[in-house]
Amino acid sequence: MKLTLVTETFPPEINGVAMTLHRLVTGLSTRGHAIEVVRPRQSKADTPAAGPFSEMLVPGLPLPGYPELKIGLPVYARLKKHWRAAAPDLVHVATEGPLGFAAVHAARALGLPLSSGFHTNFHAYSRHYGVGFIRSAGFAYLRHLHNLTRCTFAPSADVVDTLAAAGLRNVRLLGRGVDTILFHPRKRDDALRASWGAAPETPVALYVGRLAPEKNLALVIATWKALRVMLPDLRLVLVGDGPSRRELENKYSEVHYVGVRRGEDLSRHYASGDLFLFASVTETFGNVVTEALASGLVAVTYDYAAGRAHVRDGENGFLAAYDQPAAFHAAAVRAAGTRARWPAIRAAARATALGLSWDGIVDGFAEAVGALLPAPVLREGKFCDRAPLPL
């Protein structure tokens, strides 16, 4: 299969969607599929990466509120010319910005099969950036764009249900795996913990992710403060960066801010914590939850997305009713009150993560998009129109 992935976010950017898409195209490439990635150029020094797949870089502009991310420009004519000369079997549009919009319409103009991905609740983010009034219009746009494709892949069952109820057609589940070799409890580092003022037995609460309004960090910090009544020496470490960092540092100087971490360094930070506090209510999945499970942390999160899919309350982590701050506090208190059981909970978390294979995710995606192709494509490399298979 010859597949083109169009996305506004991809490595060298660091976020869950970029990581997920990189895993997907790398996995497809190693299975013998010819993959091209179309993405915005991140800087003047950014060049197409050498690897098992090819890249086509297009101009981009900074995303409002996320200056480190780029919105791809709507290069409709360039994409149409490129695909007319070398048509892929299928175009998968992973993001809904101007680049994704142009890609959908260019592919439709050429009669190319299309699928799409729903990865980020940008329509939900709007209320955190003072533009909540565009929420309805934003979702109407998303619904229109996704319904121009043959199917939309979403990362969790509750997102699938939400999108289907909101009028998106042919929504399919495409879960996410976790790298259990990279994220491993054995990466625990006492020297790193000491830099946080934590002795080997000192409890450490951890958050990993963007330091931004939509991540609900005020609740994370309030919860940490409440837990110190039970665990007076509890440390809090925030891993990541973002627009809220300076304000948080000014207000909560006793919190440890360690910035963005990558690869083995990130895995050491995960494994060196004990509790994982994740209070975001805007995730479509939340890769950090499964990374925390793989690292053997006692996770506290809301009952949706990755939490609902993989956390069993009181067994391998703790769940709170969605978007209920009092429930989140209560779940964290329950977690802190079971410290004697943390070894068993951590072991159960790790066991859960071991069942989340990226291989299965990649194979499932390849099978699902392959079913969208007209049968003659698979035999002769020619296109014909065929309705997608029933879900």
Residue 79 to residues 13, 57, 58, 100, 103: CA-CA distances in angstroms? 23, 11, 10, 11, 7
Q: Which helix (H) or strand (E) holds 226?
A: helix 217-227
Q: In what order do the strands lie in the sheet with 152-154?
A: 54-58, 34-40, 2-6, 90-93, 114-117, 152-154, 171-173
Flag whether pLDDT at 255 surpasses 60: yes
What is the C-alpha to C-alpha distance for residues 121 and 139, in angstroms, rounded to an integer? 9
Buried b (16+ CB within 10 A) or exposed e, 146-170: beebbbbbbbbebbbebbeeeebeb
Please tell me the number of Cα atoms within 13 Å of 321 on its side-chain side. Answer: 5
Return the pLDDT at 62. 85
Residue 69 to residues 7, 42, 63: CA-CA distances in angstroms? 12, 7, 6
Give the bridge partners for 275, in sequence order: 205, 298
Looking at per-residue pLDDT, the higher value among 68 and 92 belongs to 92
Return the pLDDT at 120. 77
Task: Find out whether 268 and 323 touch, Cβ atoms under 8 Å.
Answer: no
Classify 2-177+357-380 by CATH class. alpha beta
Instruction: Tell me how many degrees the CA angle 272-276-278 measures, rounded to the nearest 5.
Output: 145
Task: Find out whether 53 and 25 touch, Cβ atoms under 8 Å.
Answer: yes
Return the pLDDT at 121. 63
The dihedrals phi and psi of 24, each to the nearest 5 degrees, come to: -65, -50
Flag whether pLDDT at 383 surpasses 60: no
Return the pLDDT at 133. 42
Return the pLDDT at 125. 43
Flag whether pLDDT at 58 surpasses 90: yes
Token readout for 348 is 């159960």
**What DSSP character marks residue 373?**
S
Looking at per-residue pLDDT, the higher value among 376 and 67 belongs to 67
Is residue 43 classed exposed, middle or buried when 0-12, 13-18 and 19+ CB atoms within 10 A define those classes? exposed
- Give the three-state DSSP class for 167: coil
Please tell me the number of Cα atoms within 13 Å of 117 on its side-chain side. Answer: 27
CA torsion through residues 135, 140, 141, 145, sign = positive
Flag whether pLDDT at 390 surpasses 80: no
Flag whether pLDDT at 335 surpasses 60: yes
Return the pLDDT at 381. 38
Per domain, the residue ranges of the chain are 2-177+357-380, 185-354
Q: Give pLDDT tens digits for 154-189.
A: 999 999 999 999 999 999 999 999 999 999 999 999
Flag whether pLDDT at 224 surpasses 70: yes
Residue 339 to residues 279, 297, 330, 334: CA-CA distances in angstroms? 20, 12, 15, 9
Beta-strand runs (E) in 177-250: 204-208, 235-239
Q: Around Cβ 278, how many Cβ atoms within 10 Å? A: 26
Return the pLDDT at 276. 98
Dihedral angle at the C-alpha atoms of 320, 133, 127, 5, nearest 10 degrees?
90
Return the pLDDT at 50. 79
Beta-strand runs (E) in 273-388: 275-278, 298-302, 318-320
Return the pLDDT at 91. 98
Q: Give pLDDT tens digits for 274-315.
A: 999 999 999 999 999 999 999 999 999 999 999 999 999 999
Instruction: Tell me how many degrees the CA angle 246-249-251 measures, rounded to the nearest 5.
Output: 110
Return the pLDDT at 138. 80
Dihedral angle at the C-alpha atoms of 246, 251, 254, 258, nearest 10 degrees?
-20
Classify 185-354 by CATH class. alpha beta
Return the pLDDT at 39. 97
pTM of full prediction above 0.85: yes
Closest alpha carbon to 119 in 11, 4, 21? 21
What is the C-alpha to C-alpha distance for residues 170 and 150, in angstroms, rounded to an integer? 7
Q: Give pLDDT tens digits for 96-147.
A: 999 999 999 999 999 999 999 998 765 444 443 344 444 566 889 999 999 9
What is the C-alpha to C-alpha distance for residues 5 and 278, in angstroms, rounded to an integer? 30
Is residue 252 classed exposed, middle or buried when 0-12, 13-18 and 19+ CB atoms within 10 A define those classes? middle
Average per-residue pLDDT for the chain: 91
What confidence tier does 376 reach under pLDDT thresholds 50, 70, 90? low
Return the pLDDT at 136. 62
Can you tell me which residue has the tokens 């970029």? 18
What confidence tier does 375 reach under pLDDT thresholds 50, 70, 90? low
Token readout for 101 is 């919009």
Terminal-residue alpha carbon distance, the chain: 21
Return the pLDDT at 63. 76
Token readout for 89 is 């079997």
